[in-house]
Every structure is written in C-alpha cells, then in structure tokens.
C-alpha cells in the first residue's frame, strides 16, 4: 500500500466578521446564496481586487450593507489530500 499526499494552497484576502468569512452558503448549480460561513468556504481573492468589503459583490447588490459590517483580512487556506492506494 502506498500513501500519496497532495496539497493545495490558496492565499489572499477575505472579508471576516466575528470569526466567520464571506462565502457561498448554498449552491445547487442553478443558484447560490452568500453569507457568513466557516473559513473552508470563504471567498479568497487577491488584495488588489478588493479595497473595501463590498468590493466582493456588484454595484447596488442587496449584500452591500451586510458586507460593510466585515473587515478585510489576510487568509491562507491549505487543503491536504491523503490518498492510500493498494
């Protein structure tokens, strides 16, 4: 049996509020809903694309007031995949 480990790292900024991050709460392939989620579902983007929290959405979005409650933070997400092959 061989053990293979692979990793994926995402670095950038996210919007945080009280330990939760702005991300996708629900997605079914036809629609999605955004809100405050755990770090593993956070929307991570490059710092040059987000100067204020509401930059994560579009102009006149109904999410703007909610995003304005958060703050921009640096984030690094590492996903480790451990596969055992016989």
Looking at residue 56, its pLDDT comes to: 93
Per-domain residue ranges for the chain? 2-85
Backbone dihedral angles phi then psi of residue 17, each to the nearest 5 degrees: -145, 115
Looking at residue 1, its pLDDT comes to: 64
Whether the CA torsion 67, 68, 70, 73 is positive or negative: it is positive
Q: Are 1 and 86 in contact (CB under 8 A)?
A: yes
Looking at residue 20, its pLDDT comes to: 97
| Closest among 26, 21, 53 to 37, alpha carbons compared | 21
pLDDT tens, per residue, the chain with 86 residues: 677 677 888 999 999 999 999 999 887 878 889 999 999 899 999 999 999 999 999 999 999 999 999 999 999 988 888 777 77
Looking at residue 75, its pLDDT comes to: 95
């Amino acid at each position: 049996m061989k053990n293979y480990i692979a990793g994926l790292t995402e670095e950038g900024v996210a919007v945080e509020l009280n330990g939760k991050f702005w991300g996708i709460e629900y997605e079914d392939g036809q629609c999605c809903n955004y809100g405050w989620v755990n770090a593993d579902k956070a929307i991570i983007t490059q710092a040059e694309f987000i100067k204020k929290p509401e930059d994560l959405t579009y102009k006149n979005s109904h999410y703007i007031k909610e995003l304005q409650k958060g703050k921009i933070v640096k984030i690094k997400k590492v996903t480790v995949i451990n596969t055992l092959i016989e």
